[in-house]
Amino acid sequence: GENVEQHPSTLSVQEGDSAVIKCTYSDSASNYFPWYKQELGKRPQLIIDIRSNVGEKKDQRIAVTLNKTAKHFSLHITETQPEDSAVYFCAADQGGGADGLTFGKGTHLIIQP
Amino acid sequence: DGGITQSPKYLFRKEGQNVTLSCEQNLNHDAMYWYRQDPGQGLRLIYYSQIVNDFQKGDIAEGYSVSREKKESFPLTVTSAQKNPTAFYLCASSMGRAGNTIYFGEGSWLTVV
């Protein structure tokens, strides 16, 4: 089955700086790569996703890049703000038509004032 | 997201007891899922269902059971066979098929006392 590795586990950046979180996946048949943000004690919420037919997608301060050859994808947050502090999870679909997502273990992003 | 309702939000279980977590969705989604989240860990798939009266085991199905008698409902039973059930349980749903966005309920905290 799919295996997703996520790094770093904790990331501390100064407010206003950029943050980058990286993920790798194992199943070359995976085609869908969402990113979720989870605040303490709350549900994960989708913030951006990318499909295998594009290499980059941007939504205001958030962007995701995908390299299918290398099987890795990254989340980029620019001009970080205190409300960006949360745990971020990357995920990949199972590939081969199977349902469900496989998640990375999460990155705790801390925005320092 | 607001169309997925989980109950109860907090549940305490004595050792040796079975407990059932409820999940209802009004999004007319075909697929439903149960994930388990442990502190500092990612989300792990317990069971999923793509259609009424059918469900599949995920990565950590042992000690759990589900049913899908109605499209909008996907209850999870944590049985006494689950040795370490204390965790945050998340129900989710999607339109089904690989590559569709998965939305989460607010979660249920289960603690064994």
**Residue A103 contacts B, CB cutoff 8 Å:** yes
Mutate to test the interface with A, among B102, B108, B111 (most CBs of A within 10 A): B102
Q: Does A66 touch chain B (CB under 8 A)?
A: no
Instruction: State how far the Cα of A20 lies from the Cα of B6, in Å rounded to an integer.
Output: 33
Question: What average pLDDT does chain A have?
Answer: 93
**R_g (Cα) of chain B, nearest Å:** 13
Which residue out of B34, B43, B68 would a mutagenesis test of the A interface target, given it has the greatest number of A Cβ atoms within 10 Å?
Answer: B43
Residue type, A58: K
What's residue A80's pLDDT? 98
3-state DSSP assignment of residue B46: strand
Q: How confident is the model at residue A96 (pLDDT cuts 50, 70, 90)?
A: low
A8 touches chain B (CB under 8 A): no
| Yes or no, beta carbons of B42 and A96 under 8 Å apart | no
For the cut 90, the answer to whether the pLDDT of residue B39 exceeds it is: no
- Residue B71: closest CA among B111, B105, B107, B25: B25
Q: Which of B45, B55, B109, B111 to mutate to test the interface with A (most CBs of A within 10 A)?
A: B45
Contact indicator for B96, A99 with CB cutoff of 8 Å = yes
CA distance A101 to A4: 10
Average of per-residue pLDDT across B45-58: 93
Over residues A54-78, mean pLDDT: 95
Question: Which amino acid appears at position B79 of this protein?
Answer: T
pLDDT, tens digit, 9 for 90 and up, residues B72-95: 999 999 998 888 899 999 999 998
CB A94 within 8 A of CB A103: no
E runs forming strands in A42-100? 45-51, 56-59, 62-67, 72-77, 86-93
Q: Which residues of A touch B89 (CB under 8 A)?
A: none
Task: Determine whether the interchain pair A103/B48 forms a contact, defined as Cβ–Cβ distance below 8 Å.
Answer: no
Q: Is there a contact between B98 and A44 if contact means CB atoms under 8 Å apart? A: no
Distance CA A26, CA A49 (A): 18
Q: What is the pLDDT of residue B82?
A: 87
- Give the whole-angstrom CA distance, residue B43 versus residue A4: 11
Would the pLDDT of B1 be above 70?
Answer: no
